[in-house]
Chain A
């Protein structure tokens, strides 16, 4: 039988994340949601505690955690605020291409100074004309002397206005489709890099999202990650690693929704008794609890699969897709449990619905996840 108990070390990591989430993040979640403020002081504290560059090995200044430990932390953070969590873990996504595709020299040169101080990085794959069709991206990388010149625009880029480093996917030849895509690490300070203005979003409002323009940006060949044409595979392998924590993030939102709904149901009286004593609400809570529990176990299983060295594409797609659908459903049911109060911004549950929605869209829309799941599944039957 697999062992689902957490080691004392994992319990202390989870306690750290829970404490940070409750004492530092939760008190500001509603305010940042209302105003769209990017609470950089909270992200700085997360960095100082070691909660930011979770996947970067300690030799480069990160926390060096495995997939399961990352999920434990991300779920706790997301319980307090999904948007802040997105910004806290964006470095993991942005730095993963360097971890997977960078040479030891690049890791030393780029990651060490980056991780030695508070810095944000952004993963730049999606473009205005498409996100899921990553093979068709339009940002061009033209060879020029001993380097490249990049031109193009990326959009929906997390933390972009505040980032000092971008991992950028561009094509050396659009006719080559997937085989032309190449990855680069580009500092914000490079001439021609321009992040756009913060987007107004439905949820995850404590996180910052913008376009990034690259106008004639010169990139030395030394900052290319992997070979020319390896970018698409690098992006997909990156997402294989970072999809599972999105499942954990969605699980955290779902758990928060369940916690709010159950506490409210015990307190709120109708027909002379708490609504928790009405079977209609009990069934609701029971279904919510099943969804949360299944989301967590699928996430843990995907993380465990990846930690054992497998690619985990099927498992992580199932976890991300199921957990994000569960988060939306559980948040919806939490609002229903609250009734009219749940629809009011004064209560915490409508935010959860708005935050949950994004988890179905980013890091691979759930339609793409289902395509991937079906493809991996059918391979086993072919």
Chain B
């Protein structure tokens, strides 16, 4: 089985963020980029399938600028992906999800793919569009919010579940199709030190972004939330003391109740 998994570099949640000098985007110079959390779950899903279905190959694909996109592909290789392809966006990419999906679809169309796995959204722009757009561009079905994807050899179909508002849906689907995976339903593995060292020497394939129309949106302005004010730390020795102090503040200072 041939699995393609799409990955994206996003700012590390622990990075202190700031706006770029032109004020339109996050300043990438000040940011440490990591493999997106949803995509970590997607890579883990791909590797679980690889372990379960003999002969499976996993190909990681990413679209974005240097150097972070190549770095995130090396992380995917260190985790266990067999191959990696980088679609270079150039330094001025707008981040438009349709442009990203078109670039990824162009690369994926040239690769064998029984299954295309994506995180259902990325932790930075939260757009959640790429998986659905890939389905449309590759003319295959797509499903979002998927968990627990398993190959059923007897029926040659995939079985999976979707936790939705009202409950848990169970589905089956023939290949090929696109999946947007829910985050953190599995426990993504950590790359081992020898694999990290080996991934530095891996060949990262290159593909050029497919041309097309649509996806003309551009970021206008990026603002950080205003600094929080008014927070007050209550110091205490016992829960009772904490509660007493809190009630006094709520009553006397915040005047929430008389």
Residues of A within 8 A of B (CB): 8-9, 12-13, 15-16, 19-20, 48-51, 58, 63, 267-269, 341
Contact = CB atoms under 8 A, between A and B. Distances in A.
A50 B194 contact: yes
A-side binding surface: helix, strand, loop or mixed?
helix
Chain A to chain B: the 6 pairs with minimum beta-carbon distance, closest first:
A50-B193, A9-B200, A50-B192, A12-B196, A49-B192, A63-B193
B194 A63 contact: yes
Interface string B212-253: 000000000000000000000101000000000000000000
A48 B78 contact: no
B210 interface: no
Contacts of B34: 15
A8 B200 CA distance: 8
Given A16-B196, A20-B190, 20 more contacts: A8-B74, A12-B74, A13-B196, A13-B197, A15-B34, A16-B190, A16-B193, A19-B190, A49-B192, A49-B193, A50-B192, A50-B193, A51-B193, A58-B194, A63-B193, A63-B194, A63-B197, A267-B233, A268-B233, A269-B233
A267 B67 CA distance: 37
A129 B168 CA distance: 68
A50 B191 CA distance: 10
B233 A13 contact: no
Contacts, number: 39
Contact of A12 (B67, B78, B233): B78
28 contacts: A8-B67, A8-B74, A9-B196, A9-B197, A9-B200, A12-B75, A12-B199, A12-B200, A13-B193, A13-B196, A13-B197, A15-B34, A16-B190, A16-B193, A16-B196, A19-B190, A49-B190, A49-B192, A49-B193, A50-B192, A50-B193, A51-B193, A58-B194, A63-B193, A63-B194, A63-B197, A267-B233, A269-B233
Contacts of B194: 50, 58, 63
A55 to B, nearest CB: 13
A275 to B, nearest CB: 12
Contact of A16 (B74, B191, B200, B233): B191
Nearest to A268: B233
Contacts of B2: none
A81 B235 CA distance: 26
B96 interface: no
Interface in B175-200: 190-194, 196-197, 199-200
Nearest to A48: B192
Instruction: Among B67, B74, B194, find the residue whose CB has the most chain A CB atoms closer than 10 A.
Output: B194
Contacts of B199: 12
Interface in B49-75: 67, 71, 74-75
Contacts of A20: 190
Instruction: Among B78, B197, B200, B235, find the residue whose CB has the most chain A CB atoms closer than 10 A.
Output: B197
Contacts of A19: 190
B150 to A, nearest CB: 26
A361 to B, nearest CB: 30
Contacts of A63: 193-194, 197
B174 to A, nearest CB: 37
Interface in B68-99: 71, 74-75, 78
A255 to B, nearest CB: 15
A64 to B, nearest CB: 8
Nearest to A24: B190
A20 B189 CA distance: 11
A63 B194 CA distance: 6
Contacts of B78: 12
Contacts of A51: 193
Instruction: Among B67, B191, B233, find the residue whose CB has the most chain A CB atoms closer than 10 A.
Output: B191
A8 B197 contact: no
Contacts of A269: 233
Contacts of A341: 235
A50 B185 CA distance: 26
Contacts of A268: 233
A63 B34 CA distance: 24
A9 B201 CA distance: 10
Nearest to B197: A9
B132 to A, nearest CB: 31
A205 B233 CA distance: 31
Nearest to B199: A12
Contact of A8 (B71, B193, B233, B235): B71
Contacts of B190: 16, 19-20, 49
A49 B78 CA distance: 12
A76 to B, nearest CB: 12
B156 to A, nearest CB: 35
Nearest to A49: B192
Contacts of B233: 267-269
Interface string B19-43: 0000000000000001000000000
A48 B197 CA distance: 15
Nearest to A19: B190
A269 B233 CA distance: 9
Contacts of B197: 9, 13, 63
A51 B193 CA distance: 7
A13 B34 CA distance: 14
